[in-house]
Structure 1
Amino acid sequence: MKVAFVTDSGTGKTVSELKQDGIFSVPLQVSYDNTNYQDLEELGIEEMYRLMRDGVMLSTSLPSLGKIEALFEHLKNEGYEQIFAVPICTGLSGTINAMQMCAKTVGIPFDYVDCNVTAVVQDYMIHLAKDLHEKGKSISEIKAVLESVVESTNTYLLPNDLHHLKRGGRLTPLAATLGGLLKIKPILMINKNTSGKIDVADKVRTMHKAMDKVIQRMKDEHVNKDYMITVAHADDIEEACYYMNKIKEAFPEAKHQIIKLVSVVGVHTGIGCQAIQYFKMVK
Protein backbone atom coordinates (compact mmCIF):
# COMPACT_ATOMS: atom_id res chain seq x y z
CA MET A 1 0.00 0.00 0.00
CA LYS A 2 1.23 3.46 -0.91
CA VAL A 3 1.06 5.54 2.28
CA ALA A 4 1.64 9.30 2.56
CA PHE A 5 3.11 10.50 5.85
CA VAL A 6 1.80 13.91 6.89
CA THR A 7 2.55 16.36 9.68
CA ASP A 8 2.59 20.15 10.25
CA SER A 9 4.92 23.00 11.22
CA GLY A 10 4.65 22.09 14.90
CA THR A 11 7.70 19.97 14.07
CA GLY A 12 9.68 23.19 13.76
CA LYS A 13 10.50 22.35 10.13
CA THR A 14 9.36 23.93 6.89
CA VAL A 15 7.37 22.18 4.18
CA SER A 16 10.48 21.93 1.99
CA GLU A 17 12.68 20.57 4.78
CA LEU A 18 10.22 17.76 5.48
CA LYS A 19 9.69 17.10 1.78
CA GLN A 20 13.39 16.27 1.47
CA ASP A 21 12.68 13.33 3.80
CA GLY A 22 9.61 12.27 1.84
CA ILE A 23 7.20 13.68 4.41
CA PHE A 24 4.32 16.02 3.59
CA SER A 25 3.39 18.97 5.80
CA VAL A 26 0.95 21.83 6.16
CA PRO A 27 1.88 25.03 8.02
CA LEU A 28 0.04 26.13 11.13
CA GLN A 29 -0.90 29.82 11.25
CA VAL A 30 0.45 32.72 13.30
CA SER A 31 -1.67 35.87 13.35
CA TYR A 32 -1.32 39.55 14.22
CA ASP A 33 -2.90 42.78 13.01
CA ASN A 34 -5.88 40.76 11.72
CA THR A 35 -3.69 38.90 9.25
CA ASN A 36 -2.86 35.17 9.16
CA TYR A 37 0.67 34.10 8.24
CA GLN A 38 1.80 30.60 7.34
CA ASP A 39 4.09 29.43 10.16
CA LEU A 40 7.73 29.13 9.00
CA GLU A 41 6.70 29.81 5.39
CA GLU A 42 5.55 33.45 5.52
CA LEU A 43 6.67 34.19 9.09
CA GLY A 44 9.97 32.74 10.26
CA ILE A 45 10.78 32.01 13.87
CA GLU A 46 13.36 34.81 14.12
CA GLU A 47 10.84 37.36 12.87
CA MET A 48 8.21 35.99 15.24
CA TYR A 49 10.45 36.49 18.27
CA ARG A 50 11.42 39.96 17.04
CA LEU A 51 7.75 40.90 16.94
CA MET A 52 7.25 39.52 20.44
CA ARG A 53 10.20 41.55 21.76
CA ASP A 54 8.58 44.61 20.20
CA GLY A 55 5.45 43.91 22.22
CA VAL A 56 3.28 42.63 19.37
CA MET A 57 0.60 40.23 20.62
CA LEU A 58 0.45 37.15 18.41
CA SER A 59 -1.97 34.25 18.24
CA THR A 60 -1.93 30.85 16.56
CA SER A 61 -4.42 28.65 14.75
CA LEU A 62 -4.61 25.36 12.89
CA PRO A 63 -3.66 25.11 9.20
CA SER A 64 -6.22 26.45 6.75
CA LEU A 65 -8.74 23.82 5.68
CA GLY A 66 -8.08 24.79 2.06
CA LYS A 67 -4.40 23.89 2.33
CA ILE A 68 -5.12 20.58 4.05
CA GLU A 69 -7.74 19.61 1.49
CA ALA A 70 -5.53 20.68 -1.42
CA LEU A 71 -2.66 18.54 -0.09
CA PHE A 72 -4.91 15.51 0.38
CA GLU A 73 -6.36 15.91 -3.12
CA HIS A 74 -2.82 16.07 -4.50
CA LEU A 75 -1.81 12.93 -2.60
CA LYS A 76 -4.86 11.03 -3.83
CA ASN A 77 -4.14 12.09 -7.42
CA GLU A 78 -0.53 10.94 -7.00
CA GLY A 79 -1.76 7.44 -6.24
CA TYR A 80 -1.45 7.38 -2.46
CA GLU A 81 -3.95 4.95 -0.96
CA GLN A 82 -3.79 6.12 2.65
CA ILE A 83 -2.63 9.06 4.77
CA PHE A 84 -0.91 8.50 8.08
CA ALA A 85 -0.42 11.62 10.19
CA VAL A 86 1.38 12.76 13.33
CA PRO A 87 0.11 16.35 13.76
CA ILE A 88 0.33 18.73 16.71
CA CYS A 89 -1.70 17.24 19.58
CA THR A 90 -5.43 17.68 20.05
CA GLY A 91 -4.84 19.33 23.42
CA LEU A 92 -3.17 22.29 21.69
CA SER A 93 -4.87 22.41 18.30
CA GLY A 94 -7.80 21.21 16.21
CA THR A 95 -5.47 20.08 13.43
CA ILE A 96 -6.18 16.35 13.81
CA ASN A 97 -9.94 16.87 13.56
CA ALA A 98 -9.45 19.14 10.54
CA MET A 99 -7.32 16.50 8.81
CA GLN A 100 -9.90 13.80 9.51
CA MET A 101 -12.64 15.97 8.03
CA CYS A 102 -10.62 16.83 4.92
CA ALA A 103 -9.67 13.19 4.33
CA LYS A 104 -13.35 12.24 4.47
CA THR A 105 -14.21 15.02 2.02
CA VAL A 106 -11.47 13.95 -0.39
CA GLY A 107 -12.27 10.27 0.03
CA ILE A 108 -8.92 8.88 1.18
CA PRO A 109 -8.37 6.61 4.21
CA PHE A 110 -6.79 8.44 7.15
CA ASP A 111 -5.09 7.27 10.33
CA TYR A 112 -2.96 9.03 12.93
CA VAL A 113 -1.29 8.94 16.33
CA ASP A 114 -1.74 11.80 18.78
CA CYS A 115 1.74 12.68 20.04
CA ASN A 116 0.15 14.48 23.02
CA VAL A 117 2.57 17.37 22.49
CA THR A 118 4.42 18.94 19.53
CA ALA A 119 7.97 20.00 18.51
CA VAL A 120 10.84 17.47 18.59
CA VAL A 121 8.67 14.51 19.61
CA GLN A 122 6.25 15.17 16.77
CA ASP A 123 9.10 15.39 14.26
CA TYR A 124 10.74 12.24 15.60
CA MET A 125 7.50 10.27 15.47
CA ILE A 126 6.56 11.12 11.87
CA HIS A 127 10.05 10.20 10.67
CA LEU A 128 9.96 6.99 12.72
CA ALA A 129 6.57 6.09 11.25
CA LYS A 130 7.89 6.46 7.69
CA ASP A 131 11.05 4.48 8.50
CA LEU A 132 9.01 1.64 10.01
CA HIS A 133 6.72 1.56 6.98
CA GLU A 134 9.72 1.29 4.68
CA LYS A 135 10.91 -1.66 6.78
CA GLY A 136 7.63 -3.44 6.10
CA LYS A 137 5.76 -2.74 9.32
CA SER A 138 1.96 -2.55 9.18
CA ILE A 139 0.05 0.56 10.25
CA SER A 140 -1.08 -1.18 13.44
CA GLU A 141 2.53 -2.14 14.23
CA ILE A 142 3.68 1.42 13.54
CA LYS A 143 1.02 2.84 15.84
CA ALA A 144 2.07 0.50 18.66
CA VAL A 145 5.69 1.66 18.41
CA LEU A 146 4.70 5.32 18.28
CA GLU A 147 2.47 4.92 21.34
CA SER A 148 5.48 3.56 23.26
CA VAL A 149 7.31 6.80 22.42
CA VAL A 150 4.32 8.83 23.65
CA GLU A 151 4.34 6.89 26.93
CA SER A 152 7.97 7.87 27.57
CA THR A 153 7.52 11.52 26.58
CA ASN A 154 7.33 14.49 28.92
CA THR A 155 7.58 18.23 28.36
CA TYR A 156 8.02 20.97 30.95
CA LEU A 157 7.63 24.67 30.29
CA LEU A 158 9.26 27.28 32.53
CA PRO A 159 7.75 30.64 31.49
CA ASN A 160 9.57 33.79 32.49
CA ASP A 161 6.75 36.24 31.79
CA LEU A 162 3.48 35.55 33.58
CA HIS A 163 1.98 38.76 32.22
CA HIS A 164 2.34 37.43 28.68
CA LEU A 165 0.38 34.33 29.62
CA LYS A 166 -2.23 36.56 31.24
CA ARG A 167 -2.59 38.76 28.14
CA GLY A 168 -2.93 35.65 26.01
CA GLY A 169 -5.73 34.34 28.21
CA ARG A 170 -3.69 31.41 29.51
CA LEU A 171 -3.57 32.70 33.10
CA THR A 172 -5.99 34.62 35.28
CA PRO A 173 -5.08 38.27 35.94
CA LEU A 174 -4.99 37.63 39.70
CA ALA A 175 -2.64 34.65 39.35
CA ALA A 176 -0.34 36.63 37.06
CA THR A 177 -0.26 39.60 39.45
CA LEU A 178 0.43 37.46 42.51
CA GLY A 179 3.03 35.48 40.61
CA GLY A 180 4.86 38.69 39.70
CA LEU A 181 4.73 40.07 43.23
CA LEU A 182 5.86 36.84 44.91
CA LYS A 183 8.38 35.93 42.20
CA ILE A 184 6.61 32.62 41.65
CA LYS A 185 7.76 30.59 38.66
CA PRO A 186 5.15 28.02 37.59
CA ILE A 187 6.41 24.73 36.19
CA LEU A 188 3.99 23.76 33.45
CA MET A 189 3.81 20.30 31.92
CA ILE A 190 2.27 18.64 28.91
CA ASN A 191 2.17 14.89 28.31
CA LYS A 192 -0.20 11.95 27.83
CA ASN A 193 -1.44 12.23 31.42
CA THR A 194 -2.55 15.83 30.77
CA SER A 195 -4.20 14.73 27.49
CA GLY A 196 -1.89 17.06 25.59
CA LYS A 197 -3.07 20.12 27.52
CA ILE A 198 -0.87 22.46 29.54
CA ASP A 199 -1.20 21.88 33.28
CA VAL A 200 0.62 23.20 36.36
CA ALA A 201 3.13 20.70 37.77
CA ASP A 202 4.69 22.82 40.53
CA LYS A 203 5.56 26.35 41.63
CA VAL A 204 8.94 27.67 42.81
CA ARG A 205 10.52 31.09 43.39
CA THR A 206 13.23 31.28 40.71
CA MET A 207 13.95 29.99 37.22
CA HIS A 208 17.02 28.09 38.37
CA LYS A 209 15.10 26.38 41.17
CA ALA A 210 12.51 25.43 38.57
CA MET A 211 15.25 23.86 36.48
CA ASP A 212 16.51 21.87 39.47
CA LYS A 213 12.99 20.70 40.25
CA VAL A 214 12.48 19.44 36.69
CA ILE A 215 15.82 17.61 36.72
CA GLN A 216 14.81 15.84 39.92
CA ARG A 217 11.53 14.82 38.30
CA MET A 218 13.50 13.44 35.35
CA LYS A 219 15.65 11.41 37.72
CA ASP A 220 12.52 10.08 39.37
CA GLU A 221 11.32 8.99 35.92
CA HIS A 222 14.63 7.14 35.37
CA VAL A 223 15.72 9.12 32.32
CA ASN A 224 18.89 7.47 31.01
CA LYS A 225 21.21 7.00 28.01
CA ASP A 226 18.32 5.88 25.80
CA TYR A 227 16.67 9.31 25.91
CA MET A 228 16.79 12.35 23.68
CA ILE A 229 16.71 15.53 25.81
CA THR A 230 15.96 18.87 24.20
CA VAL A 231 16.19 22.31 25.79
CA ALA A 232 14.03 24.72 23.78
CA HIS A 233 14.26 28.42 24.54
CA ALA A 234 12.07 31.40 23.67
CA ASP A 235 14.87 33.65 22.44
CA ASP A 236 17.14 33.32 25.50
CA ILE A 237 20.14 31.22 24.49
CA GLU A 238 22.18 32.17 27.56
CA GLU A 239 19.72 30.60 30.00
CA ALA A 240 19.26 27.65 27.65
CA CYS A 241 23.00 26.93 27.77
CA TYR A 242 22.97 27.22 31.55
CA TYR A 243 20.08 24.74 31.66
CA MET A 244 21.79 22.37 29.25
CA ASN A 245 24.96 22.30 31.34
CA LYS A 246 22.88 21.16 34.31
CA ILE A 247 21.14 18.57 32.13
CA LYS A 248 24.43 17.17 30.83
CA GLU A 249 25.78 16.93 34.35
CA ALA A 250 22.71 15.00 35.49
CA PHE A 251 22.33 12.82 32.37
CA PRO A 252 25.74 12.70 30.66
CA GLU A 253 25.03 9.63 28.52
CA ALA A 254 21.74 10.85 27.02
CA LYS A 255 21.52 12.57 23.63
CA HIS A 256 21.22 16.38 23.99
CA GLN A 257 20.31 19.36 21.85
CA ILE A 258 19.31 23.03 22.17
CA ILE A 259 16.74 24.58 19.83
CA LYS A 260 14.48 27.63 19.71
CA LEU A 261 11.03 26.94 21.07
CA VAL A 262 8.64 26.30 18.17
CA SER A 263 6.37 29.17 17.17
CA VAL A 264 3.10 27.57 18.19
CA VAL A 265 4.32 27.25 21.79
CA GLY A 266 6.59 30.30 22.09
CA VAL A 267 3.75 32.62 21.03
CA HIS A 268 1.83 31.65 24.15
CA THR A 269 4.61 31.32 26.74
CA GLY A 270 6.39 34.59 25.96
CA ILE A 271 10.04 35.61 25.63
CA GLY A 272 12.45 33.93 28.05
CA CYS A 273 10.56 30.67 28.49
CA GLN A 274 12.76 27.61 28.88
CA ALA A 275 11.27 24.26 27.90
CA ILE A 276 12.60 20.76 28.24
CA GLN A 277 11.29 17.84 26.25
CA TYR A 278 12.50 14.28 26.54
CA PHE A 279 11.53 10.83 25.27
CA LYS A 280 12.95 7.35 24.96
CA MET A 281 14.30 6.69 21.47
CA VAL A 282 13.39 3.49 19.65
CA LYS A 283 16.37 1.19 19.14
Structure 2
Amino acid sequence: MKTAFVTDSGTGKTVEELAKEGIFSVPLQVSYDNTNYQDLEELSIDRIYELMRDGVMLSTSLPSLGKIEALFEHLKNDGYEQIFAVPICSGLSGTINAMEMCARTVGLAFAYVDCHVTAVVQEYMIKTAKRLHEEGKTIQEIKDVLSRIVDTTDTLLLPNDLQHLKRGGRLTPLAATLGGLLKIKPILKINKETNGKIDVVDKVRTMHKAMDMAIEIMRNEHVDDSYMITVAHADDAVEAEYYMNKIKAAFPNAKHQIIKLVSVVGVHTGRGCQAVQYFKMIQE
Protein backbone atom coordinates (compact mmCIF):
# COMPACT_ATOMS: atom_id res chain seq x y z
CA MET A 1 0.00 0.00 0.00
CA LYS A 2 1.53 3.31 -1.10
CA THR A 3 1.90 5.36 2.11
CA ALA A 4 2.43 9.09 2.59
CA PHE A 5 4.12 10.27 5.79
CA VAL A 6 2.50 13.43 7.13
CA THR A 7 3.21 15.84 9.99
CA ASP A 8 2.82 19.55 10.75
CA SER A 9 4.82 22.65 11.69
CA GLY A 10 4.97 21.55 15.33
CA THR A 11 8.21 19.94 14.17
CA GLY A 12 9.70 23.41 13.81
CA LYS A 13 10.33 22.70 10.13
CA THR A 14 8.74 24.31 7.08
CA VAL A 15 6.73 22.44 4.46
CA GLU A 16 9.66 22.84 2.05
CA GLU A 17 12.26 21.56 4.52
CA LEU A 18 10.27 18.40 5.23
CA ALA A 19 9.48 17.87 1.54
CA LYS A 20 13.21 17.44 0.93
CA GLU A 21 13.00 14.41 3.24
CA GLY A 22 10.00 13.02 1.35
CA ILE A 23 7.64 13.99 4.18
CA PHE A 24 4.44 15.97 3.73
CA SER A 25 3.42 18.69 6.19
CA VAL A 26 0.71 21.23 6.89
CA PRO A 27 1.28 24.44 8.85
CA LEU A 28 -0.41 25.11 12.16
CA GLN A 29 -1.89 28.59 12.54
CA VAL A 30 -0.78 31.58 14.60
CA SER A 31 -3.27 34.40 15.05
CA TYR A 32 -3.29 38.04 16.10
CA ASP A 33 -5.39 41.09 15.24
CA ASN A 34 -8.21 38.74 14.10
CA THR A 35 -6.04 37.29 11.33
CA ASN A 36 -4.75 33.73 10.96
CA TYR A 37 -1.22 33.19 9.63
CA GLN A 38 0.40 29.96 8.49
CA ASP A 39 3.04 28.97 11.05
CA LEU A 40 6.58 29.13 9.57
CA GLU A 41 5.19 29.87 6.12
CA GLU A 42 3.78 33.37 6.68
CA LEU A 43 5.26 34.00 10.14
CA SER A 44 8.77 32.84 11.02
CA ILE A 45 9.78 31.96 14.58
CA ASP A 46 11.93 35.11 14.69
CA ARG A 47 8.98 37.28 13.59
CA ILE A 48 6.74 35.66 16.20
CA TYR A 49 9.19 36.46 19.00
CA GLU A 50 9.57 39.98 17.62
CA LEU A 51 5.82 40.45 17.90
CA MET A 52 5.91 39.11 21.45
CA ARG A 53 8.67 41.59 22.35
CA ASP A 54 6.30 44.32 21.15
CA GLY A 55 3.62 43.03 23.52
CA VAL A 56 1.37 41.49 20.87
CA MET A 57 -0.78 38.67 22.27
CA LEU A 58 -0.80 35.69 19.94
CA SER A 59 -2.84 32.52 19.84
CA THR A 60 -2.48 29.24 17.97
CA SER A 61 -4.81 26.76 16.31
CA LEU A 62 -4.71 23.57 14.27
CA PRO A 63 -4.11 23.66 10.51
CA SER A 64 -7.06 24.72 8.41
CA LEU A 65 -9.25 21.82 7.36
CA GLY A 66 -9.09 23.13 3.82
CA LYS A 67 -5.31 22.78 3.71
CA ILE A 68 -5.37 19.28 5.19
CA GLU A 69 -8.07 18.11 2.78
CA ALA A 70 -6.31 19.71 -0.20
CA LEU A 71 -3.07 17.91 0.68
CA PHE A 72 -4.85 14.58 1.10
CA GLU A 73 -6.71 15.02 -2.21
CA HIS A 74 -3.37 15.73 -3.88
CA LEU A 75 -1.83 12.61 -2.31
CA LYS A 76 -4.76 10.43 -3.44
CA ASN A 77 -4.45 11.77 -6.98
CA ASP A 78 -0.75 10.85 -6.86
CA GLY A 79 -1.64 7.25 -6.09
CA TYR A 80 -1.22 7.20 -2.31
CA GLU A 81 -3.58 4.84 -0.53
CA GLN A 82 -2.69 5.50 3.10
CA ILE A 83 -1.61 8.30 5.42
CA PHE A 84 0.76 7.64 8.30
CA ALA A 85 0.80 10.71 10.54
CA VAL A 86 2.79 11.97 13.52
CA PRO A 87 1.18 15.35 14.24
CA ILE A 88 1.51 17.65 17.24
CA CYS A 89 0.11 15.79 20.26
CA SER A 90 -3.62 15.55 20.93
CA GLY A 91 -3.14 17.15 24.36
CA LEU A 92 -2.13 20.44 22.71
CA SER A 93 -4.10 20.39 19.47
CA GLY A 94 -6.97 18.78 17.59
CA THR A 95 -4.78 18.15 14.55
CA ILE A 96 -4.88 14.33 14.80
CA ASN A 97 -8.69 14.29 14.76
CA ALA A 98 -8.78 16.78 11.90
CA MET A 99 -6.38 14.68 9.82
CA GLU A 100 -8.33 11.50 10.50
CA MET A 101 -11.59 13.16 9.48
CA CYS A 102 -10.09 14.56 6.26
CA ALA A 103 -8.56 11.18 5.36
CA ARG A 104 -11.97 9.54 5.79
CA THR A 105 -13.61 12.25 3.65
CA VAL A 106 -11.06 11.83 0.87
CA GLY A 107 -11.09 8.04 1.08
CA LEU A 108 -7.57 7.28 2.36
CA ALA A 109 -6.64 4.79 5.05
CA PHE A 110 -5.26 6.59 8.11
CA ALA A 111 -2.77 5.49 10.78
CA TYR A 112 -1.01 7.64 13.36
CA VAL A 113 1.00 7.70 16.56
CA ASP A 114 0.41 10.36 19.23
CA CYS A 115 3.88 11.62 20.22
CA HIS A 116 2.40 13.18 23.41
CA VAL A 117 4.73 16.17 22.83
CA THR A 118 5.84 18.14 19.77
CA ALA A 119 9.05 19.70 18.33
CA VAL A 120 12.20 17.56 18.00
CA VAL A 121 10.54 14.28 19.05
CA GLN A 122 7.73 14.79 16.56
CA GLU A 123 10.23 15.35 13.73
CA TYR A 124 12.40 12.41 14.80
CA MET A 125 9.39 10.08 14.94
CA ILE A 126 7.98 10.91 11.50
CA LYS A 127 11.44 10.53 9.93
CA THR A 128 11.97 7.25 11.76
CA ALA A 129 8.56 6.01 10.59
CA LYS A 130 9.42 6.73 6.96
CA ARG A 131 12.83 5.06 7.27
CA LEU A 132 11.33 1.93 8.83
CA HIS A 133 8.69 1.77 6.10
CA GLU A 134 11.43 1.92 3.47
CA GLU A 135 13.16 -0.96 5.30
CA GLY A 136 10.04 -3.04 4.86
CA LYS A 137 8.52 -2.79 8.33
CA THR A 138 4.75 -3.12 8.71
CA ILE A 139 2.59 -0.30 10.05
CA GLN A 140 2.20 -2.17 13.34
CA GLU A 141 5.95 -2.69 13.63
CA ILE A 142 6.49 1.03 12.99
CA LYS A 143 3.92 1.91 15.66
CA ASP A 144 5.67 -0.38 18.15
CA VAL A 145 9.04 1.30 17.56
CA LEU A 146 7.56 4.80 17.82
CA SER A 147 5.74 3.83 21.03
CA ARG A 148 9.08 2.89 22.59
CA ILE A 149 10.40 6.36 21.72
CA VAL A 150 7.32 7.95 23.32
CA ASP A 151 7.88 5.90 26.49
CA THR A 152 11.34 7.49 26.96
CA THR A 153 10.31 11.04 26.04
CA ASP A 154 9.87 13.98 28.39
CA THR A 155 9.70 17.73 27.96
CA LEU A 156 10.29 20.08 30.89
CA LEU A 157 9.29 23.73 30.48
CA LEU A 158 10.72 26.52 32.64
CA PRO A 159 8.63 29.62 31.85
CA ASN A 160 10.02 32.99 32.86
CA ASP A 161 6.91 35.13 32.46
CA LEU A 162 3.98 34.09 34.62
CA GLN A 163 2.02 37.14 33.50
CA HIS A 164 2.11 35.85 29.93
CA LEU A 165 0.74 32.49 31.05
CA LYS A 166 -1.94 34.36 32.98
CA ARG A 167 -2.97 36.47 29.97
CA GLY A 168 -3.06 33.35 27.82
CA GLY A 169 -5.37 31.61 30.28
CA ARG A 170 -2.77 29.04 31.32
CA LEU A 171 -2.67 30.18 34.97
CA THR A 172 -5.32 31.55 37.29
CA PRO A 173 -4.92 35.30 37.93
CA LEU A 174 -4.27 34.62 41.63
CA ALA A 175 -1.57 32.03 40.95
CA ALA A 176 0.12 34.33 38.45
CA THR A 177 0.01 37.29 40.84
CA LEU A 178 1.41 35.31 43.77
CA GLY A 179 4.03 33.74 41.55
CA GLY A 180 5.15 37.16 40.36
CA LEU A 181 5.34 38.56 43.88
CA LEU A 182 7.29 35.60 45.22
CA LYS A 183 9.41 35.22 42.09
CA ILE A 184 8.33 31.61 41.79
CA LYS A 185 9.47 29.69 38.73
CA PRO A 186 7.18 26.75 37.93
CA ILE A 187 8.59 23.59 36.37
CA LEU A 188 6.10 22.22 33.89
CA LYS A 189 6.11 18.91 32.04
CA ILE A 190 4.46 17.41 29.00
CA ASN A 191 4.75 13.70 28.17
CA LYS A 192 2.82 10.44 27.87
CA GLU A 193 2.07 10.49 31.60
CA THR A 194 0.26 13.84 31.23
CA ASN A 195 -1.50 12.72 28.00
CA GLY A 196 0.25 15.50 26.14
CA LYS A 197 -1.13 18.22 28.39
CA ILE A 198 0.97 20.70 30.38
CA ASP A 199 1.19 19.83 34.08
CA VAL A 200 3.10 21.28 37.04
CA VAL A 201 6.03 19.30 38.46
CA ASP A 202 7.28 21.73 41.10
CA LYS A 203 7.99 25.38 41.87
CA VAL A 204 11.29 27.02 42.83
CA ARG A 205 12.50 30.58 43.38
CA THR A 206 14.93 31.13 40.49
CA MET A 207 15.41 30.02 36.90
CA HIS A 208 18.82 28.52 37.66
CA LYS A 209 17.40 26.46 40.53
CA ALA A 210 14.69 25.30 38.14
CA MET A 211 17.41 24.20 35.71
CA ASP A 212 19.16 22.23 38.46
CA MET A 213 15.90 20.54 39.43
CA ALA A 214 15.18 19.65 35.80
CA ILE A 215 18.60 17.98 35.56
CA GLU A 216 17.86 16.05 38.75
CA ILE A 217 14.58 14.86 37.20
CA MET A 218 16.53 13.70 34.16
CA ARG A 219 18.93 11.76 36.37
CA ASN A 220 16.01 10.10 38.14
CA GLU A 221 14.65 9.08 34.73
CA HIS A 222 17.99 7.41 33.94
CA VAL A 223 18.94 9.57 30.98
CA ASP A 224 22.14 8.14 29.50
CA ASP A 225 24.46 8.26 26.49
CA SER A 226 21.75 6.95 24.14
CA TYR A 227 19.60 10.06 24.59
CA MET A 228 19.15 13.15 22.47
CA ILE A 229 18.86 16.22 24.72
CA THR A 230 17.57 19.47 23.26
CA VAL A 231 17.44 22.84 24.96
CA ALA A 232 14.81 25.01 23.30
CA HIS A 233 14.65 28.69 24.21
CA ALA A 234 12.01 31.34 23.71
CA ASP A 235 14.12 34.30 22.60
CA ASP A 236 16.91 33.95 25.20
CA ALA A 237 19.94 32.27 23.65
CA VAL A 238 22.29 33.34 26.47
CA GLU A 239 20.35 31.47 29.16
CA ALA A 240 19.99 28.51 26.79
CA GLU A 241 23.79 28.28 26.52
CA TYR A 242 24.05 28.44 30.32
CA TYR A 243 21.46 25.67 30.64
CA MET A 244 23.16 23.51 28.03
CA ASN A 245 26.52 23.81 29.78
CA LYS A 246 24.89 22.46 32.95
CA ILE A 247 23.33 19.60 30.98
CA LYS A 248 26.58 18.72 29.23
CA ALA A 249 28.33 18.56 32.59
CA ALA A 250 25.66 16.14 33.86
CA PHE A 251 25.33 14.07 30.66
CA PRO A 252 28.57 14.62 28.72
CA ASN A 253 28.19 11.70 26.30
CA ALA A 254 24.58 12.21 25.24
CA LYS A 255 23.76 13.97 21.96
CA HIS A 256 23.06 17.69 22.52
CA GLN A 257 21.58 20.60 20.58
CA ILE A 258 20.11 24.08 21.16
CA ILE A 259 17.15 25.32 19.12
CA LYS A 260 14.54 28.06 19.27
CA LEU A 261 11.38 26.89 21.03
CA VAL A 262 8.75 26.07 18.41
CA SER A 263 6.30 28.89 17.99
CA VAL A 264 3.20 26.86 18.88
CA VAL A 265 4.66 26.34 22.37
CA GLY A 266 6.53 29.62 22.81
CA VAL A 267 3.37 31.62 22.07
CA HIS A 268 1.83 30.16 25.23
CA THR A 269 4.83 30.05 27.58
CA GLY A 270 6.05 33.56 26.76
CA ARG A 271 9.52 34.89 26.05
CA GLY A 272 12.36 33.73 28.25
CA CYS A 273 11.06 30.18 28.62
CA GLN A 274 13.76 27.50 28.67
CA ALA A 275 12.68 23.99 27.72
CA VAL A 276 14.55 20.71 27.70
CA GLN A 277 13.28 17.79 25.64
CA TYR A 278 14.92 14.39 25.80
CA PHE A 279 14.30 10.91 24.43
CA LYS A 280 16.12 7.64 23.79
CA MET A 281 17.19 7.36 20.17
CA ILE A 282 16.55 4.17 18.20
CA GLN A 283 19.63 2.26 17.14
CA GLU A 284 19.59 2.07 13.35
TM-score in terms of structure 2 length = 0.99
Alignment of 1:96-107 (within 5 A): 96-107=96-107
Pairwise CA distance, 1:81: 1.1
Which residue of the partner structure matches residue 181 of structure 2?
181
Q: Give the aligned CA root-mean-square deviation in angstroms.
A: 0.3
Which residue of the partner structure matches residue 251 of structure 2?
251
Distance in 2, matches of 1:216 and 1:188, equals: 14
Distance in 2, matches of 1:255 and 1:142, equals: 23
Pairwise CA distance, 1:93: 0.1
Q: Deviations over 1:30-58 (max 9, x none)?
A: 00000000000000010000000000000
Distance in 2, matches of 1:39 and 1:169, equals: 21
Which residue of the partner structure matches residue 195 of structure 1?
195
Deviating beyond 3 angstroms after TM superposition, the runs of 4 or more aligned structure 1 residues are: none
Pairwise CA distance, 1:164: 0.1
Pairwise CA distance, 1:155: 0.2
Which residue of the partner structure matches residue 263 of structure 2?
263
Distance in 2, matches of 1:166 and 1:81, equals: 45
Pairwise CA distance, 1:272: 0.1
Pairwise CA distance, 1:4: 0.1
Q: How many residues align?
A: 283
Match of 1:138, as an amino acid?
Answer: T
Alignment of 1:204-215 (within 5 A): 204-215=204-215
Q: Deviations over 1:128-150 (max 9, x none)?
A: 00000000000000000000000
Pairwise CA distance, 1:180: 0.5
Which residue of the partner structure matches residue 117 of structure 2?
117
Match of 2:274, as an amino acid?
Answer: Q
Match of 1:185, as an amino acid?
Answer: K
Distance in 2, matches of 1:35 and 1:280, equals: 39
Which residue of the partner structure matches residue 218 of structure 2?
218
Match of 1:153, as an amino acid?
Answer: T
Which residue of the partner structure matches residue 8 of structure 1?
8
Report SS of the residue matched to 2:201.
strand
Distance in 1, matches of 2:62 and 2:111, equals: 18
Pairwise CA distance, 1:161: 0.1
The question of 1:227 aligning with 2:214 is answered: no
Taking only the aligned residue pairs, the percentage that are identical comes to 80
Report SS of the residue matched to 1:166.
helix
Report SS of the residue matched to 2:118.
coil
Which residue of the partner structure matches residue 36 of structure 1?
36
Q: Which runs of 5+ in 2 are unaligned?
A: none
TM-score in terms of structure 1 length = 1.00
Q: Deviations over 1:227-275 (max 9, x none)?
A: 0000000000000000000000000000000000000000000000000
Q: Deviations over 1:53-74 (max 9, x none)?
A: 0000000000000000000000
Which residue of the partner structure matches residue 164 of structure 1?
164
Report SS of the residue matched to 2:60.
strand
Match of 2:43, as an amino acid?
Answer: L
Match of 2:208, as an amino acid?
Answer: H
Report SS of the residue matched to 2:193.
helix
Distance in 2, matches of 1:102 and 1:171, equals: 34
The question of 1:79 aligning with 2:79 is answered: yes
